[in-house]
Structure 1
Amino acid sequence: MNETNYLQFFDGKLFKVMNYIYWIFMTSTLFLLTNILLIFSTYALVMASKEMPISIFHLIIIGIFTIPVGPSLAAMYDVMNKIIQNQEVSVIKDFFKGYRRHFRQSVGLSCILVFLTIITVMNYFILQQSQDMGFMLLPLLAVISLIMCVSLYTFQFVSLKKFTMKEIGKLSLYFSIKEFKTTIMMLISAALCIYLMLLIPTVTIFLFPGIYCFVSTFLLQKVNKKIVSSTI
């Protein structure tokens, strides 16, 4: 291979595709490593559910182990924003730099989201057993759906700019409603990734966390630009 062909290869589509695969694989792997307790607890819960019913206590344990997902997502979005903007990327360095920088705020927001989700789900199960309060089930489902939609934006915004937790909450709620089509596409992407990871975990678990974050970052390019240029 002469020098011209060599340069063409490294500037070509194949090299770019290999780079994207590497970035997605590495960010997914780092995400899994920083959430190893959640993975093991979820696996144990799935195995245990075959012999005993899932209780509220089990959901609380899973919720606690879900808290570190926040810093991991913020770190992944740091990397994905660089990739989308065609900046130089060092996956491991950028991931842990973002993880440390966003840790405190992301953990705080994770705690709030997990707490709200657990309280809402607990009330849902309690009301489901009540014959007189069945009319409250639909509003609770709406609240759970809203929390899910808000969480899709929360850690993306954490990675963009230094906001307070209150400002991030307001922005996440605002854009989850205003950009409804984008929210639906992100929900579908998340649901599809989770479904495929449960269906064929051996293959997909090392790819789909990164794929989801890349897709959601791509979908939120215009929103992210507004956030970065905004002054609150």
Structure 2
Amino acid sequence: MERYDNRDFTENKLYTIVNYIYWILISSVLFIVSNALFVFVLFVSLFSIKEQLLPFHIVFIALLVVSIPMGPSFCALYSVMRKIVLDKQVSVVKEFFIGYRQNFKQALLAWVLILFLIALFTWNYYIIVFHEFASFLIFPLYMFISLLLCTAFYVFPLISQYYMRLIDVFRISLYFTLKHFNTTIMILIVFVLGGYLFTLFPTITFVFIPGAMALIVMLLVTKLFGKVQLEHKKEDTQISKKMVSDHD
């Protein structure tokens, strides 16, 4: 009986691992397909930079433009991962498109705003470096860009999980960034490590990195969101949980 129980336990563990690999793979593929134009331009841009075919600012602008539709895809990906973290079970394709549709407008607006600020800071940095003017502003620009990127780590998990005004999304994301700095650093490490692995093994990791990174981020922020929700009343933060996807 003990031998049977051990075998059953091993089979259950193996089944769980296979499920997670499947969920990560399918969600990553859906994310890539929904951003096919960006993926194409990204690989063309990497080739162009390597061969010095196009100036960097042209490549940068092209990547910004084609990445505009990416915001809703982030929310769709985090919706899938939220379901995995909370329910340990998910219909990936169904949940992805539900999350994409429900959060499309707000996620798109949030992402366009983030891209605009990135472009603005980058353009100012380019002017300062190119014209060798006001170089003392370079460090503040680095700080602003870093703060913006770290704040963006929380924006799309929040949108995928709660109903709230866009201004509240950014306000609470900034609060998480500064108040829970350890979590912010861990998320930053996840993204840096994911980018590093992509540079080493682009073909192999390409179809796993989006889902794997999103799952790790959701594992880090889910308990954090719940803790903050207990600390703040709903009427103060105007937060309301998204229940639609939990009743499919």
8 Å CA contact 1:79–1:94 kept in 2: the answer is yes
Matches within 5 A, 1:118-129: 118-129=119-130
Distance 1:51 1:79 in 2: 39
Q: Which amino acid aligns with 1:8?
A: D
2:187 corresponding residue in structure 1: 186
TM-score (norm 1): 0.92
1:33 corresponding residue in structure 2: 33
Residue by residue over 1:174-201, the C-alpha shift from the partner in whole angstroms, topping out at 9 and shown as x without a partner, is: 1011111111111111011112112211
8 Å CA contact 1:128–1:134 kept in 2: the answer is yes
- SS of the residue 2:137 aligns to: helix
- Decide whether aligned partners of structure 1 residues 58 and 194 sit closer, same or farther in structure 2, where only a CA change above 3 A counts: same
Q: Which amino acid aligns with 1:25?
A: L
Distance 2:56 2:17 in 1: 44
Residue by residue over 1:201-220, the C-alpha shift from the partner in whole angstroms, topping out at 9 and shown as x without a partner, is: 11101111111001111111
Structure 2: stretches of 5+ with no match in the other structure: 238-248
Distance 2:186 2:158 in 1: 18
8 Å CA contact 1:26–1:91 kept in 2: the answer is yes
Structure 1: stretches of 5+ with no match in the other structure: none
Q: Which amino acid aligns with 2:47?
A: M
- SS of the residue 1:155 aligns to: helix
2:202 corresponding residue in structure 1: 201
Distance 1:27 1:228 in 2: 28
CA RMSD of aligned residues (A): 1.9
Please report how far the alpha carbon of residue 58 of structure 1 lies from its aligned counterpart in structure 2 after TM superposition: 2.4
Distance 1:87 1:164 in 2: 29
Q: Which amino acid aligns with 1:14?
A: L
- Decide whether aligned partners of structure 1 residues 228 and 19 sit closer, same or farther in structure 2, where only a CA change above 3 A counts: farther
User: Bigger shift: 115-124 or 48-57?
Assistant: 48-57
- Decide whether aligned partners of structure 1 residues 10 and 92 sit closer, same or farther in structure 2, where only a CA change above 3 A counts: farther
Matches within 5 A, 1:91-130: 91-130=92-131
User: Bigger shift: 95-104 or 63-72?
Assistant: 63-72
Distance 1:199 1:69 in 2: 24
Residue by residue over 1:72-121, the C-alpha shift from the partner in whole angstroms, topping out at 9 and shown as x without a partner, is: 11111111111111253100000011000011110000100000001100
2:177 corresponding residue in structure 1: 176
Distance 2:195 2:69 in 1: 18
1:221 corresponding residue in structure 2: 222
1:84 corresponding residue in structure 2: 85
Q: Which amino acid aligns with 2:194?
A: C
Distance 2:217 2:124 in 1: 31
8 Å CA contact 1:83–1:89 kept in 2: the answer is yes
- SS of the residue 1:129 aligns to: helix
User: Bigger shift: 92-101 or 66-75?
Assistant: 66-75
Residue by residue over 1:6-36, the C-alpha shift from the partner in whole angstroms, topping out at 9 and shown as x without a partner, is: x937971000000000000011111100111
Residue by residue over 1:137-177, the C-alpha shift from the partner in whole angstroms, topping out at 9 and shown as x without a partner, is: 00001111011101111000001111111110101111011
Query: In percent, how many aligned pairs have the same letter?
Result: 34
Q: Does 1:59 align with 2:76?
A: no
